C-alpha cells in the first residue's frame, strides 16, 4: 500500500516511505502537504520545502524512483533517471541527499519536458 500521493504536473503517482532516515521522514511527514514549482536537472525534479533537517544516511547515488531531501538546498528531489552528475546512467544527486521514499512507477515522469508543479500529500 502506498503512503504518498505525488502529483507532478498532470502525472499522478504514488510513493512508499523507506525504512531509512527516520528524522527526515518524520519532519517531512509533519509538513505535508508539500508543494512547489519544480526545477529540472536531468531526470531529477526538485523544489524548495519549509523543512530544515541535517544529513542522516546521506548519499549521492540513489535508486530510480527515489524521493530524497537535499539538506544543502532545503529541497525535495524526485529521481527517475540520469542527471548531469551520473556515471553509467544511474540517478545521482549533485550533493548528498537523504532518501525517504520511493515512487512506485516512474514511467509518467519521462513525459516531463521541463519544470513542473509538484504536490506531495498523504495517500
Distance, in Å, from the CA atom of 3 to the CA atom of 71, rounded to the nearest integer, reads: 22
Taking only the tens place, the pLDDT of each residue in 57-67 is 999 999 999 99
User: Residue 107 pLDDT > 80, yes or no?
Assistant: yes
pLDDT (mean) for 103-114:
92
48 Cα distance to chain centroid: 11
Taking only the tens place, the pLDDT of each residue in 48-94 is 999 999 999 999 999 999 999 999 999 999 999 999 999 999 999 99
Cell, residue 82 = 540520469
Sign of CA dihedral 17, 9, 74, 66: positive
Cell, residue 75 = 529541497
Amino acid at each position: 500500500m502506498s503512503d504518498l500521493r505525488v502529483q507532478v504536473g498532470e502525472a499522478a503517482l504514488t510513493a512508499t516511505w523507506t525504512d531509512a532516515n527516520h528524522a527526515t521522514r518524520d519532519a517531512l511527514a509533519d509538513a505535508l502537504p508539500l508543494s512547489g514549482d519544480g526545477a529540472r536537472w536531468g531526470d531529477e525534479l526538485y523544489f524548495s520545502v519549509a523543512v530544515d533537517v541535517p544529513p542522516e544516511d546521506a548519499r549521492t547515488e540513489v535508486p530510480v524512483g527515489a524521493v530524497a531531501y537535499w539538506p544543502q538546498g532545503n529541497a525535495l528531489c524526485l529521481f527517475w533517471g540520469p542527471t548531469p552528475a551520473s556515471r553509467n546512467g544511474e540517478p545521482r544527486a549533485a550533493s548528498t541527499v537523504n532518501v525517504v521514499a520511493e515512487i512506485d512507477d516512474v514511467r509518467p515522469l519521462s513525459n516531463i519536458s521541463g519544470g513542473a508543479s509538484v504536490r506531495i500529500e498523504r495517500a
